Amino acid sequence: MRTVAHISDLHFGREDRKIAEGLLLDLKAHTPSLIVVSGDLTQRAKHDEFIAAKNYFDRFSHPSLIVPGNHDIPLYNVVNRFIRPLDRYKRYITDNLNPTFVDEEIAVVGINTARSLTLKNGAISFDQLRHIEAKFHTFSSNLFKVLVVHHQFVPPPDNSAPALIRRAADVVRRIELCGVNLVLAGHTHKSYTADLKQHYQTGHSILVAHAGTAISKRGRGEPNGYNLISLDKSHVHISMRTWDGHSFVEAQSTSYHKIQSHWHKEHDRARLGYSPDSGNYSPV
Ligand SMILES: [Fe+2]
Ligand SMILES: [Fe+2]
């Protein structure tokens, strides 16, 4: 059994410092094997925002795997946006845009889906697809395989961000062949889970978990939150932990168990009184 903390869309520059401190405490308390950060570290890809993000990540007590999001590419400086889109990300965070984490139970591959041209919509190039395939094929089939991206393969339940990763059907078909069990993503600032087999023609289940915004003031009607995911080869438990004004608490949880190559939902539990507002979406 492994525990992965999945946080997203921190948007330093628009962060709430009290919540940011609360998140560090909650992460430390749960001792995850890995902290995944699925993009949008900053609000406008400014130097001071990246420095704040880096200083924050330096305080993690556990290993982390980070990918960029569209907000980590400069928006208004056209030269930087097109010529040096992720220079600041690489300078302050990591120059590895395809990070990997592997241990005896899980193999996690991150990929950059942010693009200069279509800032809000993500893509995975053919080269990146080949990289994903090569990486996953080096790992034992006994490992639980996780792909980390910023953008979405499945829109949120309220369909408020319908644009998907470019050529999503082709990408899904190929990651299915890699044996990917779970995709972690952000971008929509909505927390939700899905099974790609209900949206694409796949022979296997591939679960998707989106995290909302962990610490920023861009909540889109949802409280700040993150996913704490326990997993092994036949079980996945996704606990959505949200900020209640004082600390992070479990607001909702979803469990799946695997029968042959399909994930079956065991339960979906919401904490009494919790009802995520799925309306009032504005573009991220
Ligand atoms: Fe975002
Ligand atoms: Fe985004």
| 144-148, strands of its sheet edge to edge | 100-102, 106-110, 144-148, 182-185, 207-210, 192-195
Domain range enclosing 239: 2-270
How far is the CA of 38 from the CAs of 76, 189, 198, in angstroms? 23, 11, 23
Tokens 């795997």, residue located? 65
Q: Is residue 105 situated within a structural domain?
A: yes
Q: Is residue 275 situated within a structural domain?
A: no
Q: Is residue 281 situated within a structural domain?
A: no
Q: Measure 200 CA to ligand 1 centroid, in angstroms.
A: 25
Note the ligand closest to the C-alpha atom of 41.
Answer: 1
Q: Measure 200 CA to ligand 2 centroid, in angstroms.
A: 23
Provide the number of structural domains found in the chain.
Answer: 1
Q: Measure 142 CA to ligand 1 centroid, in angstroms.
A: 33
Q: Measure 141 CA to ligand 2 centroid, in angstroms.
A: 31
Q: Measure 72 CA to ligand 1 centroid, in angstroms.
A: 9
Q: Is residue 276 situated within a structural domain?
A: no
Q: Measure 97 CA to ligand 1 centroid, in angstroms.
A: 18
pLDDT above 90 (res 224): yes
> Cα Rg for the chain, rounded, in angstroms?
17
Structure tokens at 205: 């289940």
pLDDT above 80 (res 284): no
- pLDDT for 35 equals 98
3-state helix, strand, coil in the chain (%, to 5): 25, 30, 50
How far is the CA of 277 from the CAs of 98, 175, 199, 223, in angstroms? 34, 32, 23, 9
Q: Is residue 283 situated within a structural domain?
A: no
Give backbone dihedrals phi and psi of 146, rounded to 5 degrees, phi first.
-125, 130
Q: Measure 258 CA to ligand 2 centroid, in angstroms.
A: 31
CA–CA gap between residue 257 and residue 244 (Å, rounded): 29
| pLDDT tens track for 5-59 | 999 999 999 999 999 999 999 999 999 999 999 999 999 999 999 999 999 999 9
Q: Measure 157 CA to ligand 1 centroid, in angstroms.
A: 17
Q: Is residue 280 situated within a structural domain?
A: no
Contact 151, 113 (CB under 8 A): yes
Q: Measure 22 CA to ligand 2 centroid, in angstroms.
A: 23
Tell me, what CATH number does 132's domain have?
Answer: 3.60.21.10
Q: Measure 204 CA to ligand 1 centroid, in angstroms.
A: 29
pLDDT category, 220, cuts 50, 70, 90?
Answer: confident
Q: Measure 281 CA to ligand 2 centroid, in angstroms.
A: 13
Nearest to 192 by CA among 109, 123, 251, 134: 251
Structure tokens at 29: 């308390």
| pLDDT tens track for 171-202 | 999 999 999 999 999 999 999 999 999 999 99
